[in-house]
A and B are shown apart, each in its own frame.
Chain A
Amino acid sequence: MKRYILSRLAQVIPQVIVVAIVTFVLLRLLPANPVEGIVGPTATKATYDQEQQKLGLSASLLSQLGRFFDEIVHGGFGNSWQTNVPVTTEIGQHLPITLQLITMATVVALIVGIPLGYVLSTGRGPRRRQHRFLRIFSLFAGSQPDFWWGLVFIYLFFFLVRIFPAPLGILSPAAVAPQPVTGFILIDSLLRGQVGTFADALDHFALPVLTLAFVVVGPIMRMTSQGMRSEVNADYVLYARACGLPERRIALSIIRNGLAPVLTLTGVLFGVLLGGAVLVETVFSLNGLGVYTLQSVLALNYPSIEGSVVVMTTIALLVYIVMDILHALLDPRVRSR
């Protein structure tokens, strides 16, 4: 098992390196001019050259790449061209919002999706109508524009019926932000004993979390149902039944094996949400990593873009590994491979 984990971790490094190189080279090959954006169109040739020199864009592509990796080895991506603050510091400020958002959304989607998926897998025959409805819902909820649903939810639950707060950030103007410990506002506010702030942040997170959960619940339902149905007809179930094992024991192993593919899917969905959260973050004015990356792209702020892409890819790949390890723990067939 230890060997398996180590070998999987070793695979991440080349993948991240490739993603970093591709991003870096792509930014420099595409026809955009960040220097002009910074010095303005009326700048003299001298100012332009000076700025280009300062940003390190006048060197050859290969030596730029060398400097880039030198910085990565020393644990950073350089300074943001907009603020001159280290990119890692800025990512550290924006990443927790995104991670809290998508982790909660994934958990909510699993809590709702797995039982519904189970019903979907069993609800044939007498419960036909229920089954039909769930099937249509799982198809529908698997392919929806989350940013639009976010707006619809805002209209329904903020404008029409005021259940949730205004979609403007994660705290009300009156709330006091906790002194950072971990950077995760939900954890920090509890550590500092600010229950009011915790409740306020949770209140602000509720609607964006529901929006994201709503659009990922479909695939989870379908995968659960698929997994359950393929296990119900497996030979070992027949064997267990023939041996006279109690139905509850059999059901337990069906659920255990049937949920294994859901884990893999959860990892994939988490990665997708990480890169896709920018839409919902924009709708709810959450200043997460997605919005930070979008702003960096619009401002042609290369170090910030590179940092964000590398961080997102690394997190997604690590989550895949965690899910695969959990999968291996659940399913001995995977472990022995």
Chain B
Amino acid sequence: MALAEPIPSGDEPSPVIADEEIILGYPSLWAHVIHSVRRETLPKVGMAIVLVTIFLAILGPVIAPYNTTAATNSVNQPPSMAHWFGTDNNGLDVFSRVLAAPRIDISTALLATALALIAGSAIGLFATFYGGRLGALAIRVTDTLQAFPALILAIIVVVLTGHGLATIVLVIAVLNMPLYARLMRSEVLRIRDRAFVEAARASGLSDMAIAWRQVLPNALAPIVAQMSVTIGWAILATAGLSFLGAGVPPPTPEWGSMISAGASEIILGQWWPSVFPGLAMALTVFGFAVLADTVQTALGREG
């Protein structure tokens, strides 16, 4: 299903890589990724989609040709030269709203992913370096989070706190945190006993410095792949919540609530208010999935 939780990738066996590559942080990996984006069609398409959405998140509301929130009288107009994607049941221009929506959807997803990454990695690093009971407990707590039905938990929290955008960001971040904790943990375990880490420790580097300078750069590639997956999931979750009336309330331009607004009329044949925002979202999520796959492929974890 769409809101498929990102499959934990932390426990997958990592490819064997020569030590000197590790010290430099997978140099061949990033070269591989850049090469793919330049030469292969699919990664190029994925990258283009991602760049366009980020551009729209910044400038979408500005370049939208019509007002995106003020209702007009031209209700439910099919696509035409004046309204490329038609108008919805409030007479709003669907094209303008599709362009403006990434402001909410993409920034929510990016922010939530960043938070999940920071908090999750911190827990993972802490739990593994300082081991002991507290560390094991931290991992256990984050694991239990994964037993929850994610979407339902998100609905509960968002509805009970009054449909705030900040809550949506926080919930998505908390739900994805365990993945980064596990990822960091497995990366630390993977390189902890390598010679170069021992050397760093012998030369007096603190655990924090080792985590920052040795572990993080080495874990960067799987983290980037995981982030791309999380962003896609976060977009779907934000839209899903709004679709159910448990997220961003209308008339704020947002893909999920736009699809919801057109949903009741689709049986009557008015497809445009729902189809266009959904198409934009489907493409965006696909773009991020391709980006994740490009990095995964370079890592040798091709699926």
User: Which residues of A are in contact with B by a Cβ distance under 8 Å?
Assistant: 15, 18-19, 22-23, 26-27, 30-32, 135-136, 138-140, 142-149, 151-152, 154-155, 158-159, 166-167, 212, 215-216, 219, 222-223, 225-226, 265, 268-269, 271-280, 282-283, 290, 293-294, 297-298, 300, 305, 308-309, 312-313, 316-317
A268 touches B161 (CB 8 A): no
Say yes or no for B195: interface residue by CB 8 A criterion: no
Residues of the B chain whose Cβ atoms lie less than 8 Å from the Cβ of A317? 147
CB contacts (< 8 Å) of A135 on chain B: these are 42
Alpha-carbon distance between A275 and B3 when the two chains are bound, in angstroms: 9
Whole-angstrom distance between the alpha carbons of A142 and B289 in the complex? 8
Q: Smallest CB–CB gap between A313 and chain B, Å?
A: 6
Distance of B289 from chain A, by nearest CB (Å): 4
Q: Bound state CA distance, A273 and B4, in angstroms?
A: 8
CA of A283 to CA of B243, assembled, Å: 10
Query: Are A152 and B149 closer than 8 Å at their CB atoms?
Result: no
Contacts of A278 in B (CB 8 A): 151-152, 155, 244
List of 9 A-B pairs having minimum Cβ-Cβ separation, nearest first: A275-B149, A148-B278, A222-B303, A30-B160, A32-B160, A146-B2, A143-B289, A276-B3, A145-B2
Query: Known contacts being A19-B147, A139-B289, A278-B151, is A154 close to B160, with CB within 8 Å?
Result: no
Give the interface segment out of B18-26, B200-208, B266-274: B266-274
Contacts of B288 in A (CB 8 A): 143
Most buried by B among A15, A155, A283: A155
Can you sample 10 A-B contacts with CB below 8 Å?
A143-B236, A143-B285, A145-B2, A146-B3, A147-B259, A155-B266, A166-B267, A278-B151, A278-B155, A297-B246
Instruction: Report chain A residues within 8 Å CB of B147.
Output: 15, 18-19, 313, 316-317
Chain A residues lying within 8 Å of B232, measured Cβ to Cβ, are 143
Indicate if the CB atoms of A148 and B281 lie closer than 8 Å: yes
Would you call B152 and A275 a contact (CB within 8 A)? yes
Which B residues lie at the A interface, using CB under 8 A?
1-5, 7, 42, 144, 147-153, 155-157, 159-162, 232-233, 236, 239-240, 243-246, 259, 262-263, 266-269, 271, 274-275, 278, 281-282, 285-286, 288-290, 293, 302-303
- The answer to whether B259 and A159 have CB atoms under 8 Å apart is no
| Chain B residues positioned under 8 Å from A265 (CB to CB) | 7
Chain B: minimal CB distance from A92 (Å): 18
Q: Which of A139, A216, A279 contacts B286 (CB 8 A)?
A: A139
Indicate which residue in A139, A159, A297 contacts B290 across the interface (CB closer than 8 Å): A139
What distance in Å separates the Cβ of B94 from its nearest Cβ neighbour in chain A? 14
Which residue in chain B gives the minimum CB-CB distance to A117?
Answer: B303
CB-based contact A147/B275 at 8 Å: no
Q: A219 touching B4 by the CB < 8 A rule?
A: yes
Q: Within the assembled complex, what's the spacing in Å between the Cα atoms of A316 and B263?
A: 30
Of A139, A276, A297, A298, the contact of B2 (CB 8 Å cutoff): A276
Chain B residues with CB under 8 Å of A276's CB are 1-4, 149-151, 240
Would you call the interface of chain A mostly helix, strand, loop, or mixed?
Answer: helix
Known contacts A19-B147, A275-B149: A215-B303 contact under CB 8 Å:
no
B2 touching A282, Cβ below 8 Å = no
Q: How far is the CB of A269 from chain B (nearest CB, A)?
A: 7
Residues of A within 8 A of B245 (CB): 298
Q: Could you say which residues of chain A place their CB within 8 Å of the CB of B268?
A: 159
Contact across chains for B160 and A31 when beta carbons are under 8 A apart: yes
Establish whether residues A159 and B286, one from each chain, have CB atoms under 8 Å apart when the complex forms. Answer: no
Task: Decide if A298 touches B144 in the complex (CB within 8 Å).
Answer: no
Q: Nearest Cβ distance between residue B296 and chain A, in whole angstroms?
A: 10
Which of chain A's residues have a CB closer than 8 A to the CB of B161?
Answer: 30-32
B4 and A216 contact, CB distance less than 8 A: yes
CA distance A316 to B147 in the complex (A): 8
Alpha-carbon distance A166/B264, docked complex (angstroms): 12
Q: Which residues of B contact A312 (CB under 8 A)?
A: 149, 152
**What CA separation (Å) do A212 and B148 show in the bound complex?**
20
Would A167 and B267 be within 8 Å (CB), given that A26-B156, A139-B286, A279-B244 are in contact? yes
Q: A278-B152, A313-B149 are in contact. Are A30 and B157 (CB under 8 A)?
A: yes
- A138 close to B303 (CB less than 8 A): yes
Q: Tell me the bound Cα distance from A282 to B293 in angstroms.
A: 31
Complex alpha-carbon distance, A206 and B148, angstroms? 28
**How far apart are B33's CB and chain A's nearest CB, in angstroms?**
16
- Beyond A142-B289, A147-B243, A279-B2, whether A152 also contacts B267 by CB under 8 A is no
Q: How far is the CA of A23 from the CA of B157 in the complex (A)?
A: 10
Q: Are B303 and A212 in contact (CB under 8 A)?
A: no
Asked if B271 and A155 make an inter-chain contact with CB atoms under 8 angstroms apart, the answer reads: yes
- B contact residues around A275 at 8 Å (CB): 148-152
Task: Tell me the bound Cα distance from A216 to B2 in angstroms.
Answer: 8
Contact A226–B303 (Cβ < 8 Å): yes
Known: A19-B147, A140-B286, A309-B148. A145 touches B236 (CB 8 A): yes
Are A147 and B2 neighbours in the complex by a CB distance under 8 Å? Answer: yes
| Inter-chain contacts of B157 with A (CB < 8 A) | 26, 30
Residues of A within 8 A of B1 (CB): 146, 212, 215-216, 269, 272-273, 276-277, 279-280
When the two chains form the complex, which single residue of B160, B246, B271 contacts A294, counting CB atoms closer than 8 Å? B246
Complex Cα–Cα for A279 and B243 (A) = 8
Best-surrounded residue of B4, B271, B288, B302 (most CB of chain A within 10 A): B4
A272/B271 contact (C-beta < 8 A), A31-B162, A309-B148 known: no
